């Protein structure tokens, strides 16, 4: 048998990383070399909230150059990121920094879209939960501002990076499924829907599947990066959540997962979508997974509630020590408010503690006072929303959930894992923390031929290489 190495670029809403993964399936080897980590976040420009895509491109190029210096045997590159956001291009030229999904421009656009295609019909066609920032609404806003007419192509963030690296314009399926313009049944662009909304079908690039090659690096790019000869870019589950779900070491027929970072994506993996009225009313989504699986899940606000509160507290220049804050939160003995973590008022950047306090006032429950109480209230509210989403996923899908897997950064948050176990009454298995990068690496390794088999075989390797931490429900 032979193993090999690949480079994973994983871009999250608060940080990006370049990781080299070494895989030798026959020997049970799967390890990660963390090559680069760089901050990411919104930038407020006169036109609204954007991403610093130019800065991200520079940082990930440096990271890839470091990766090739450290591991000249790297055979391919795979890119994943958060979903829904995209760049508009005219020819090869990017029409400005991509918008951040938390920008406020979508409200009017939602109404315009639903006036043309009522939400119930949209849901039947695309299977997506309502989120005001789904690409379909963002595009209606671009259309209203005249920018969409200027563009001749649209590429989601990972595809845009793939285009910069190789020159290939493609749209990877798992991420394309979050646009709202891919038919949930066929997995193809829904041209009828696209035309009814007044968009030009020609701006959407041909769909490719995880494992497909985008081709080799452009020669100027390969020179800049000092890349080894013959390296190619491989489509992975380019939606970060799709890659994370690949690396959940679960038995999918009896488990739920929570991919917990900025968002908490809570659900189950299915073979077929569920687009019933009940699923629509519960606002559950059917996103495309790797190997044609369905990610039936609900977006819960996630650790954003904590990170944005901390950012707010740090405005005065005093750094907040997160481990100390969580330790203090664990020691809170009084009952704290459990608020609705899914309330859309928590979506926008800014003073989150004030909005939590406002929610509590409106509901006539005593609000948290100290920062430790705020942190505890956030963790309890997330744990409750997670437990609730697991119950709903189980009822709607028929999956009899016996364990909950928590992957991503949230797996490091002991209090959150423990309280999720307590509030759901189910054991929580935490880890791996870097599930997204691992899923990215494994799909590349399979494309390169040094891993093989279905997702169950890949998950068996994850389970062997990363032992999860187990939290039993305490009955409290
Ligand atoms: C998580 C995530 C999530 C999307 C959101 C925009 O990073 O990709 O799955 O809903 O970002």
Which residues lie with the beta carbon below 6 Å from any ligand 1 atom?
12-13, 82-84, 101, 239-241, 261-263, 265, 299
Confidence of residue 2 (pLDDT cuts 50, 70, 90): confident
Q: Where are the beta strands (DSSP E) in 397-476?
A: 403-407, 428-430, 469-471
Nearest atom (ligand 1) to Cα of 241 = 9
pLDDT of residue 65: 98
Nearest partner of 205 among 87, 365, 46, judged by Cα = 87
Predicted local distance difference test score (pLDDT) of residue 208: 98
Distance 265 CA to ligand 1 centre (A): 8
Kindly list the distances between the CA atom of residue 2 and the CA atoms of 12, 67, 72, 87, 88, in Å, as whole numbers in the listed order. Answer: 32, 21, 16, 39, 41
- Gap from CA of 353 to ligand 1 centroid (Å): 23
pLDDT in tens, 121-153: 999 999 999 999 999 999 999 999 999 999 999
Pocket test for ligand 1, best of 80, 130, 263 (most atoms within 8 A of CB): 263
β-pairing verdict for 428-430 and 403-407: parallel
> Active site includes 85?
no
Distance 251 CA to ligand 1 centre (A): 23
Lateral strand order in the sheet of 4-11: 29-39, 15-24, 4-11, 74-81, 232-234, 213-216
Is residue 224 scored above 90 in pLDDT?
A: yes
Q: Which helix (H) or strand (E) holds 26?
A: none
Structural contact between residues 302 and 382, judged by C-beta atoms closer than 8 angstroms: yes
Atom of ligand 1 nearest to the CA of 13: 7
How much distance in Å is there from the Cα of 32 to the middle of ligand 1?
Answer: 23
- ipTM of the predicted structure? 0.98
Three-state SS sequence of 212-228: CEEEECCHHHHHHHCCC
pLDDT tens-digit profile of 55-68? Answer: 999 999 999 999 99
Q: Tokens for 357, please give them.
A: 């306090």
* Non-local CB neighbours of 309 within 8 Å, separated by 6+ positions: 352, 353, 356, 374, 375, 378
In this model, does residue 1 exceed pLDDT 60?
A: no
Of all atoms in ligand 1, which is nearest to the CA of residue 299?
Answer: 10
Q: Which residues pair with 287 in a beta bridge?
A: 295
- Ligand 1 pocket: which of 265, 297, 304, 348 to mutate (most atoms <8 Å of CB)? 265
Which tokens sit at 320?
A: 């907040």
| pLDDT score of 475 | 80
Nearest Cα residue to 80 out of 4, 166, 3, 19: 19
Three-state secondary structure call for residue 458: helix
pLDDT exceeds cutoff 90 at 476: no
pLDDT at residue number 251: 96
Confidence of residue 419 (pLDDT cuts 50, 70, 90): very high
Nearest CA to ligand 1 atom 7: 82
Closest CA to 211 of 170, 179, 249, 181: 170
Q: What share of the chain is helix, strand, coil (3-state, %, to 5)?
A: 45, 20, 35
Whether the pLDDT of residue 198 is over 90: the answer is yes
In this prediction, residue 164 carries a pLDDT of 98
Question: 94 C-alpha to center of ligand 1: Å?
Answer: 23
Kindly report, residue by residue over 245-258, the tens digit of the pLDDT.
999 999 999 999 99
Atom of ligand 1 nearest to the CA of 131: 10
Interval 86-101 mean pLDDT: 98
DSSP bridge pairs for 81: 11, 239
**377-405 pLDDT, tens digit each:** 999 999 999 999 999 999 999 999 999 99
Alpha carbon nearest to ligand 1 atom 9, residue: 241
Count how many Cα atoms sit within 13 Å of the Cα of residue 291 in the half-sphere of its side chain.
18
Coil, strand or helix at 324: helix
Give the DSSP per-residue string, 392-414: HHHHHH-----EEEEESGGGG-H
- Closest atom of ligand 1 relative to the 240 alpha carbon: 8
- Ligand 1 atom nearest the C-alpha of 178 is 10
Asked if residues 310 and 374 have their Cβ atoms less than 8 Å apart, the reply is: no
- CA–centroid distance, 224 to ligand 1, in Å, is 31
d(C-alpha 419, C-alpha 104), whole Å: 33
Residue with the smallest CA separation from ligand 1 atom 1 is 82
User: Over the stretch 148-189, which tens digit does the pLDDT of each residue have?
Assistant: 999 999 999 999 999 999 999 999 999 999 999 999 999 999
From 159, 190, 240, 388, active-site residue? 240
Output the residue whose Cα is nearest ligand 1's atom 2: 82
Q: What is the pLDDT of residues 445-474, one digit of tens each?
A: 999 999 999 999 999 999 999 999 999 999
Residue 1 CA to ligand 1 center (angstroms) comes to 37
Q: Whose CA is nearest to atom 8 of ligand 1?
A: 82
Beta strands in 302-426 (DSSP E): 403-407
For a mutational test of ligand 1's pocket, the pick from 98, 127, 179, 240, i.e. the residue with the most ligand atoms closer than 8 A to its C-beta, is 240
CA distance 132 to 137: 7
Q: Whose CA is nearest to atom 4 of ligand 1?
A: 83
């Amino acid at each position: 048998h032979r193993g090999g190495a690949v480079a994973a670029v994983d871009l999250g809403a608060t940080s990006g990383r370049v990781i080299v993964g070494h895989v030798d399936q026959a020997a049970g080897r799967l390890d990660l070399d963390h090559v680069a980590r760089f901050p990411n976040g919104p930038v407020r420009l006169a036109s609204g909230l954007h991403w610093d895509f130019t800065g991200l491109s520079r940082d990930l190029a440096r990271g890839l150059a470091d990766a090739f210096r450290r591991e000249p045997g790297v055979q391919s590159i795979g890119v994943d990121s958060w979903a829904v956001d995209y760049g508009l291009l005219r020819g090869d030229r990017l029409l400005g920094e991509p918008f951040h999904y938390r920008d406020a421009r979508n409200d009017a656009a939602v109404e315009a879209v639903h006036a043309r295609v009522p939400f119930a019909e949209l849901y039947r066609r695309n299977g997506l939960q309502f989120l005001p920032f789904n690409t379909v609404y963002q595009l209606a806003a671009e259309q209203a501002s005249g920018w969409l007419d200027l563009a001749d192509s649209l590429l989601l963030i990972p595809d845009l990076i793939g285009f910069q690296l190789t020159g290939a314009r493609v749209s990877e399926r798992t991420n394309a499924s979050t646009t709202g313009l891919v038919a949930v049944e066929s997995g193809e662009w829904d041209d009828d829907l696209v035309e009814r909304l007044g968009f030009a079908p020609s701006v959407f690039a041909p769909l490719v599947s995880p494992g497909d090659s985008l081709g080799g690096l452009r020669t100027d790019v390969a020179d800049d990066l000092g890349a080894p000869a013959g390296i190619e870019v491989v489509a992975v589950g380019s939606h970060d959540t799709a890659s994370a779900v690949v690396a959940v070491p679960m038995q999918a027929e009896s488990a739920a997962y929570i991919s917990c970072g900025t968002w908490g994506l809570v659900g189950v993996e299915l073979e077929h979508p569920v687009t019933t009225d009940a699923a629509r009313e519960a606002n559950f989504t059917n996103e495309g997974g790797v190997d044609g699986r369905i990610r039936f899940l609900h977006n819960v606000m996630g650790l954003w509630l904590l990170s944005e509160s901390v950012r707010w507290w740090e405005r005065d220049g005093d750094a907040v020590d997160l481990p100390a804050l969580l330790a203090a939160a664990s020691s809170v003995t009084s009952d704290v408010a459990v608020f609705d973590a899914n309330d859309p008022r928590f979506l926008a950047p800014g003073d989150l503690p004030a909005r939590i306090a406002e929610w509590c006032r409106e509901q006539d429950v005593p609000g948290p006072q100290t920062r430790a109480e705020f942190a505890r209230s956030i963790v309890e509210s997330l744990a409750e929303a997670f437990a609730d989403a697991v119950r709903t996923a189980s009822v709607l899908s028929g999956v009899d959930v016996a364990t909950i897997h928590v992957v991503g950064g949230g797996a490091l948050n002991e209090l959150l894992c423990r309280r999720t176990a307590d509030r759901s009454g189910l054991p929580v298995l935490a880890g791996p923390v870097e599930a997204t990068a691992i899923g990215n690496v494994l799909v590349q390794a399979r494309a390169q031929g040094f891993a093989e088999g279905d997702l169950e075989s890949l998950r068996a390797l994850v389970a062997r290489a990363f032992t999860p931490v187990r939290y039993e429900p305490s009955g409290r």
